[in-house]
Amino acid sequence: MKNTLIGIIITLPVIAWSQDPSASEILQKIDENTIAGNRTATTTMIIHGRRSDRTMTMNSWIEGSEKSFSEYLAPAREKGTKMLKLGDQLWMYSPQSDRIIRIAGHMLRQSMMGSDFSYEDMMEDRSISETYTADILGSEFFTERDCWVVRLIAKVDDTTYHTRKIWVDKERLLALKEDRFAKSGKLLKTAEIIEVFKVDERWYPRHMIFKDVLSKTKGTELIIDEIEFDTKIPAHVFSKSSLRK
């Protein structure tokens, strides 16, 4: 659930820097572009397995970085599956078994619904400027976009990835490419944004590919079909009773 991952930006005017920004300024601009108090979204996830592909659709309601609720709409065998995140707690409801399961400990590192996202990936939705320190390694072009290459080092103990390397679009202030590493330096996950779109005053990723490099899968696509920011979400949505409704 990805929360959430899942996934998951809007029209900022082009920023005319009087001089190159600092790494911390870049992180702050990314946060301004991607973080909202509340948001609702409909997303499609395409899981490219070793033998076949699976397509899943879900609705999500997200409040800050602490609360999220997702419900799967398709395919038929997954329809009605729900996930609830409250702080560092995660629950899943399966209509097939009519059971609510708390996902904790080592289970958080497992694949979510067979995708390249782990449950930890879906729960990680915090401000990167509060979670990482950064330094600029240089500039490179990625998909014909001029980017800053920035290295992130975790400054908190409970983040999923100790080190990240991101390619940040200098105009749109989005990380278009990302490598995520373990503390040992081993590459664990990669992500690439292949399409962006504007929502209100932000740029936001519409279509991305996420890959667990340690698995034998071919990656997972995440597509934002609809998204709305700063919406009113009833408080009862973020309750365990909503899992069985």
Res 129 pLDDT > 60: yes
pLDDT at 37: 83
The count of other CB atoms within 10 Å of the CB of residue 75 is 11
CA angle 29, 33, 36 (to 5 degrees): 125
The span from the CA of 129 to the CA of 166, in Å, is 13
Q: What is the value of pTM for the model shown?
A: 0.87
**What tens digit of pLDDT does each residue of 50-91 get?**
889 999 999 999 998 889 999 999 999 999 999 999 998 999
Question: Which residues lie below 8 Å from residue 232, measured CB to CB, with a gap of 6+?
Answer: 38
pLDDT at 214: 93
User: What H or E segment, with its residue span, contains residue 33?
Assistant: helix 23-34
pLDDT higher at 161 or 123: 161
Host domain of residue 55: 23-243
Instruction: Specify the CATH number for the domain of residue 223.
Output: 2.50.20.10
Is 198 within a domain?
A: yes
Q: Where are the beta strands (DSSP E) in the chain?
A: 38-48, 53-63, 67-74, 82-86, 89-94, 99-102, 132-142, 145-154, 163-169, 175-181, 187-199, 202-212, 220-229
| Beta-bridge mates of residue 153 | 133, 163
Question: What is residue 132's three-state secondary structure?
Answer: strand
pLDDT at 88: 87
Is 39 within a domain?
A: yes
The span from the CA of 88 to the CA of 135, in Å, is 29
The span from the CA of 37 to the CA of 34, in Å, is 10
Is 212 within a domain?
A: yes
Res 33 pLDDT > 90: no
pLDDT higher at 51 or 24: 24
Is 17 within a domain?
A: no
Is 13 within a domain?
A: no
Q: Are 150 and 144 in contact (CB under 8 A)?
A: no
Is 11 within a domain?
A: no
**What tens digit of pLDDT does each residue of 213-241 get?**
999 888 999 999 999 998 999 999 999 99
The chain-wide mean pLDDT, for the chain, equals: 89
pLDDT higher at 32 or 9: 32
Is 9 within a domain?
A: no
Average pLDDT on 179-185 reads: 96
Q: Are 78 and 94 in contact (CB under 8 A)?
A: no
Is 218 within a domain?
A: yes
Domains: count for the chain = 1
Tokens 């597509």 label which residue?
Answer: 223
pLDDT grade for 5, boundaries at 50, 70 and 90? very low
pLDDT at 13: 36
